[in-house]
Every structure is written in C-alpha cells, then in structure tokens.
Chain A
Amino acid sequence: AQRVTQPEKLLSVFKGAPVELKCNYSYSGSPELFWYVQYSRQRLQLLLRHISRESIKGFTADLNKGETSFHLKKPFAQEEDSAMYYCALRPYTGTASKLTFGTGTRLQVTL
C-alpha cells in the first residue's frame, strides 16, 4: 500500500522568505509524484510533477528516492502563493487516475 505524509498542517512565512513544504511517501515500487495546489475559491489544480523536472511559478521539487521525499521549494515566497498544497503519489503501473494524496499543508505568506 502507498502512503503520503505531509507533516505540517500550516506553514506561515514572511513575503520574500524561502519556502519548503515537506512531503514523504512510502511505496515499494516506482512512484510518480505530484504537487497539487488549491487557491482560495478555486479548484484543485496540478502545480508540478517530478517527471517534468520543471519550475512552475518559481516552485521546484526533487524526488529523493533514498529519503522517499518530494519536498516543494521556492526561494522567495509571494503573497499569491498563499494556498493549500497537496502532495500526491501514483504508481507507474495501475489505474491512471488513482492518486494517493497527503492531508495537505496550508501555506500562509504574510507581509
């Protein structure tokens, strides 16, 4: 069985400070990892996925198989980054839509 852990319910940072949202996973096979974001009054949407290896809105995430982690990072937080962030895992084989989500971390960026 797979599991995704996001240890922080709330992360509060000042504008311009670095951000790191933690995500750890457990899965015996080869996983695909994602970060989803939900801004206030908007739907859940994909932020980035590890296979893309790209930076979206200044955010990056590196899959560390040794530490089974996929932490989301941004060097300088902006007010518009305030949102709910969910880490999710999907096995490479199996049901394409079956994501296992963590419980989410609310990021609050203050002035």
Chain B
Amino acid sequence: ETGVTQSPTHLIKTRGQQVTLRCSSQSGHNTVSWYQQALGQGPQFIFQYYREEENGRGNFPPRFSGLQFPNYSSELNVNALELDDSALYLCASSFQGGDSPLHFGNGTRLTVT
C-alpha cells in the first residue's frame, strides 16, 4: 500500500509569486484535503476535493485554489504569495463514505521571503 506523497519537500518563494504543491493520495482513496500548519500551531483546514470538485472549504481567501485529477492526485495553488503564507502544507487522503480516517503526507515546507 502506497502512502500519501507530497512534492516538493521544501520550497522558497518571493512575496507576490505563485506556487504549486503536489500530492499523490494513498491507493484506494478518492478524497484529498489540504491543511496549512503555521509554526507552533495545529493544522488548519484549507479545502477538500472529491470527484475532482471542491466540496468543502475553510477560512482561506480565493488565492488558495486546488485541483484533483482523475487518478485522485491533487495540486494546491497559491497566488500572490504573502509572508504569512510561510508554513507547512499537509495533504491528507481518505475514502469518502464510511469511517475512513485521514492519512497525511509528510508535508511541503513553504518559505516566503
């Protein structure tokens, strides 16, 4: 069973730039969610994708967007980067329906300078 994998592991960007983070879900999972974890904080829910559509969103502005592909992998895009976007971005996959728990990836550490 392949776990959730994220790329890249680390990334440095400049304020105002755009970034794309990638996630491959665990085999058999059809739902992907993204979380932002700032230093010293717990993960915060950004959004969830199911059947290639966003079907749940946290308190994040529209410049945070995503995609889910037919193979259930996903991308998180952030436009017009701000210094406060510096954080660990976690991807989690699960199986929609039933009591499937979330399986997290190792995260992408984004630094905005």
Contacts and interface: CB of A to CB of B under 8 A. Distances in A.
Interface size class of B (residues with CB under 8 A): 20 to 34
Contacts of A88: 42
Contact of B31 (A49, A97, A104): A97
Given A96-B94, A97-B33, A97-B94, A44 B56 contact: no
A96 B48 contact: yes
A95 B43 contact: no
A94 interface: yes
A57 interface: no
Contacts of B41: 103-104
Contacts of A44: 43, 90, 104
A101 B41 CA distance: 9
A98 B101 CA distance: 11
Given A43-B104, A44-B104, A98 B42 contact: no
Contacts of B45: 95, 97-100
Q: Binding site of B, secondary structure by majority: helix, strand, loop or mixed? A: loop
Interface residues of A, number: 21
A45 B104 contact: yes
Nearest to B3: A43
Interface string B71-96: 00000000000000000001010101
A4 B40 CA distance: 15
B7 interface: no
26 contacts: A4-B42, A34-B101, A43-B4, A43-B104, A43-B107, A44-B43, A44-B90, A49-B101, A51-B99, A86-B43, A95-B55, A95-B56, A96-B56, A96-B94, A97-B94, A97-B102, A98-B48, A98-B56, A98-B58, A99-B43, A100-B45, A101-B42, A101-B44, A102-B42, A103-B40, A104-B42
Contacts of A104: 41-42
B23 to A, nearest CB: 12
